Amino acid sequence: MWYVRFMKRTTVMLADETLARLRQESRLRGSSVAEIVRTAVERHLTDPVPAPQRKLAFFAIGDSGMSDGSERVDEHLAEIYLERERQRNADQDARR
C-alpha cells in the first residue's frame, strides 16, 4: 500500500446505524470504507462551512470552563451530539 508512508491511522467512533450505512455505501461503490471516510473528511475540510455550524472545531483549545473537559471529552461530545439530535427531532416534529 503506497499511502501507508503518507497517512496516519486513526479511530472514528460511529453510531451503529451510521456504520451500517457507510458499509452499504462502500459495497455499492466498490470502494473501501477508509476511502469513503477520507474523501468525506477532505471534502468537509475543503468546503467552507459557516462558523456557527462548526461549534466543535476547537473543542480542545483554550479554557472551556469545564474542569474535567480533557478527561471526559467523549462524554461531553456525546452530550452535545444528543442535544443536537433532540433539537433536530424537535425541528422535524414542528414541521409536520
Segments making up each domain of the chain, as ranges? 13-47, 50-96
CA-CA distances (angstroms) from residue 6 to 1, 9, 28, 51?
10, 10, 27, 30
Query: Is pLDDT of 43 > 80?
Result: yes
Q: How many angstroms separate the CA atoms of 32 and 26, rounded?
A: 6
Cα angle 70, 89, 38 (rounded to 5 degrees) comes to 55
The predicted model scores a pTM of 0.46
Q: How many angstroms separate the CA atoms of 77 and 33, rounded?
A: 23
Q: For the segment 56-76, what is each residue's pLDDT rounded down to a tens digit?
A: 555 555 556 666 666 777 787
* Residue spans of alpha helices (H) in the chain: 16-29, 33-46, 73-95
Q: Which is more confident, 66 or 9?
A: 9
